[in-house]
Structure formats: C-alpha cells, structure tokens
Amino acid sequence: MADQAFYLIYQEASDEECLLTIQPYKDEQALAEAINQLQAKEIDEYTIIHGKKLKASLRLAVELSDWDEE
C-alpha cells in the first residue's frame, strides 16, 4: 500500500479571499501535527480522506452583480 495517503481538506476565508487546501500526508503523525496547526488557527472544520493517490478536478461557478455602495 505504498500509494496510500491521508488527504486533509480544509478552507480558510477572509474578506479578501477564500482558499481551499487539499494536502496529502503519508503518515498519521504528520497528519496529527497538521490538524494541531489548524486548531491553533481556530479552523475546526476539515475533512480527512484515506486512500490511494487522488486525481481532482475543480468546477466553480461564480455569479457577479453590481455592488451599490451606500
């Protein structure tokens, strides 16, 4: 099972940007350290997937409209 890995998926957002991260980890210790770092940043929503090397595609739809400043 050399191709097995843990994939940590989480999102960071601010007023200026939104970042989705999918990070692979080979062992549980590295994954635990990454989760501790997320908790230090007060990110408590994440997903962990355990499996073979993944191939991903991203489909994104954004609807823009005029912004009226008051």
Alpha-carbon 42 to chain mean position: 14
With a threshold of 0.85, does the pTM exceed it? no
- The answer for residues whose C-beta is within 8 angstroms of residue 45's C-beta and 6 or more apart is 10, 11
Residue 60 phi, psi dihedral angles, 5° rounding: -130, 130
Supply the pLDDT for residue 1.
47
Q: In what order do the strands lie in the sheet with 46-51?
A: 18-25, 5-13, 46-51
**pLDDT tens, position by position, 2-55:** 578 899 999 988 777 888 898 999 999 999 999 999 999 989 899 999 888 767
